[in-house]
A and B are shown apart, each in its own frame.
Chain A
Amino acid sequence: MTQPIDRAEQFKAEIADMKLKTGRARVESWLQIVGVVLMVVGIAIAFGAYSASLNVTATPGTNVDLLDSNSYTPLAIAGLAISVTGGFIFLRYSLARFLRFWLLRQVYEQRVAIDDAAGRNSTGELRRGEPQRGVDAVGTS
């Protein structure tokens, strides 16, 4: 069995060494905003590159216009990559919160369903007139 004083001392030491991660929810909200911003910025860059490539003027006798036009391709791809990354960040942090609530709801609903099946209300009390299957008589068989 744990010695009382040892446990208290160990507890104090562990709490003292604990790395506090404060403001995690705030960070998640910020990352969602960053994700949306990156999506918009990425698409804007891609469209900007596309528009700029349309304005390349042709130089007779050379292929400079084609090279200029091609040079916008990596920029547009980079814009799309930024947009996809932003979308991933947004989904990651918005889904995490949603799934947490979803999991809690699943647990809660399953408990209610099982309580219903066992004839109890949500606090564990037997419903009036139900069989004594869930009675709280510890020590009796």
Chain B
Amino acid sequence: MLNGDGPGGGERPDRALELRNVDAAYGTITVLRGVDLIVPFGQVVALLGPNGGGKSTVLRVVSGLLPVTGGDVYVAGRRVNGAAPDELARHGVCLIPEGKGIFPNLSVRENLWMATHTGRPLNDIEEIAYARFPRLGERRKQLAGTLSGGEQQMLAMARALATDPALLLLDELSMGLAPLVVEQLYEIVAQVATEGVSILVVEQFARAVLGIVDWVGIMLRGRITNFGTPAAMEAELSTAYLGE
């Protein structure tokens, strides 16, 4: 961790995820440069920073969608460079992408059906999803594309949580949503974390997540420039965003 400041600095608790000196590129354009990051088991880590800093690319690398060009990615202590995204997803690494990743032309129930690939029956998945998001239960037959943005995000989360993830990767949960909805969604994220799920959140809007995370990294131009507790990082954020 940066300067021994983060969760890996003193004691070395179990790590759900660790990035060591990771580089990644889109073609010839290098996007990540020597990224080091640790997500301990059962904790929530947020990567914050302005647009274009490489935050979403970190999630793409961790979920196996983008191969690293340098460095190593460890999941649950195992080096997984080059692992296929479906393999990682099957074993509990779950990405909720920016833009929700739901099927707009399928109903809520049919979207949840997609999570049955894990072997869990649809009835169980629906029961869990509707218990956590009662709103979805009211709209189970409605086309997902006609739900509000907040409900679509709930559906994406419900489908992801139905797969019983161990490492949840959230990309811009607040994108295009009203502050009230964002607050409610992050309350659910905090609740999920208490159930032992390790979570890496990527956000542009820092205020939305500072209240629920254990560690915060600030990402600028492909590097994590600061890492620490939310209280310590709050002051750094204005510098990161405003460049002062």
Contacts and interface: CB of A to CB of B under 8 A. Distances in A.
Contact of B149 (A6, A110, A117, A125): A125
Interface string A113-136: 011011011111100000000111
B52 interface: no
B181 A8 contact: no
B196 A3 contact: yes
A22 interface: yes
B120 interface: no
A15 B80 contact: yes
Q: How large is the interface on A (under 10, 10 to 19, 20 to 34, 35 or more residues)?
A: 35 or more
Nearest to A23: B82
Contacts of B180: 136-139
B195 A22 contact: no
B69 to A, nearest CB: 14
Interface string A96-111: 0000000000010011
B103 A124 contact: no
Contacts of B154: 138
Contacts of B211: none
Interface in B78-110: 78, 80-84, 87-88, 91-92, 99-100, 103-105
Given A4-B42, A23-B82, A24-B84, A134 B149 contact: yes
A122 B175 CA distance: 10
Interface of A: 1-8, 10-12, 14-16, 18-24, 107, 110-111, 114-115, 117-118, 120-125, 134-139
20 contacts: A7-B195, A7-B197, A8-B14, A11-B91, A11-B92, A12-B14, A16-B76, A18-B80, A20-B82, A20-B87, A107-B103, A111-B104, A114-B146, A125-B149, A134-B149, A136-B149, A136-B150, A136-B180, A138-B150, A138-B180
